[in-house]
Structure 1
Amino acid sequence: MRRTDREITDLTTMEQIIANGHVITLGINTADAAPYVVPTNYGYEFDQDKLTLYIHGAPVGKKRTLIQADNRVSFNIVTNTALYQPNDDKLSHYSYFYQSIYGVGKAVLVSDLTEKEHALRLVLKHEVGHDVPGNIDPHDLEYVGVIRIDVASFTGKQHAQPSGPEK
């Protein structure tokens, strides 16, 4: 990373960024070398420092077809964004604040119904902020497409807003 002053190395901070984000942008390899990039919501879990991500969608489609051909993926999560507008007229003083996570891993098309239910509950928990009680109909589990991303590595980067008054 060129801007090492913006690198995030603290795992707790990276976990907070993942928790605060709501959209993951998934990059999937294609045969013509132009990646297919798709935004979606997600669920996640940490087992110590190992990150696993889950996304859901249709049981057929371009994402799944591409993953079957090449399961290597990359992803990006961005949160806490805001435009910085300077107090002067200099256009070069404008900037943008953000926190982000970038990572790579292997995508797995999940077929096991128990794992699908686990994944969907993680997505719901992430979006609403708590466990959602109730049953998921087995027919719905059969139909939904779930993709697990076994994350090999990830890193964080930020241009954080100053916490005190601007100088």
Structure 2
Amino acid sequence: MRRKEREVTSTTEIAAILQAAHVIHLGIQTSDYPYVVPTNYGFEFVEQQLIIYLHGAPAGRKRDLIAQQPKVGFEIDDGGHLMPATNGEPSKNSFAYRSIIGTGEAELVTDLATKQHALQTILVHETGHPWPNIKEHDVEYVGIIKIKVNQYSAKAHYDPK
């Protein structure tokens, strides 16, 4: 990482970034160009390994590509905001942000118990509470992708205000 002073290593702060953000940009390999798709996600740390769950349709390009090549890249950020220059100098404009970039192995989940767990994880992340009434039909239908993250780094540029 070029800007070491912006590196985030605290697992508490990394979890806070993951919690604050709501969109993952998933990069998937194709035969010619990368395919990047934004989607919602849920996450958990299992014995200190970051696991990310994605939901979507049970068929489609994303799933087809992952079935061919499960190695993926991703980016998650909290949206950030402009820190405008106060002295009229264009070069003094800056941007506050927190982000995580990484790679992992994607798995197309078919096991109903894992799909149920993944949906709960996603719903808790997105809504702030569990949903005990997910219908079995919905669990069966949804496409779940589980990413076992093998490497990631986090970075932040904080607003001094």
TM-score normalised to structure 1 length = 0.93
2:147 is aligned to: 149
1:46 is aligned to: 45
1:11-40 Cα distance to aligned partner (Å, 9 max, x none):
1111110011111110111111x2100110
Q: Secondary structure at the match of 1:114?
A: helix
Letter matched to residue 115 of structure 1: T
The answer to whether structure 1 residue 81 and structure 2 residue 60 are counterparts is: no
2:103 is aligned to: 104
Q: Secondary structure at the match of 1:141?
A: helix
1:21 is aligned to: 21
Q: Distance in 1 between matches of 2:42 and 2:50?
A: 11
1:97-136 Cα distance to aligned partner (Å, 9 max, x none):
00001111000000001111110011000011122222x2
Q: Distance in 2 between matches of 1:53 and 1:44?
A: 4
Q: Distance in 1 between matches of 2:87 and 2:61?
A: 47
1:35 is aligned to: 34
Q: Distance in 1 between matches of 2:10 and 2:137?
A: 42
Q: Gapped runs of 5+ residues in structure 2?
A: none
The answer to whether structure 1 residue 10 and structure 2 residue 17 are counterparts is: no
Identity score, percent = 48
Q: Distance in 1 between matches of 2:131 and 2:139?
A: 16
Q: Distance in 2 between matches of 1:11 and 1:139?
A: 36
Letter matched to residue 74 of structure 2: F
1:95 is aligned to: 94
Q: Distance in 1 between matches of 2:150 and 2:12?
A: 18
The RMSD of aligned alpha carbons is 1.1
Q: Distance in 1 between matches of 2:140 and 2:9?
A: 39
Length, aligned pairs only: 161
Shift of 1:142: 1.8
Q: CA distance change for structure 1 residues 64 and 80 in 2, over 3 Å: closer, same or farther?
A: closer
Letter matched to residue 17 of structure 1: I
Letter matched to residue 111 of structure 1: T
Q: Gapped runs of 5+ residues in structure 1?
A: none
Q: Distance in 2 between matches of 1:31 and 1:2?
A: 30
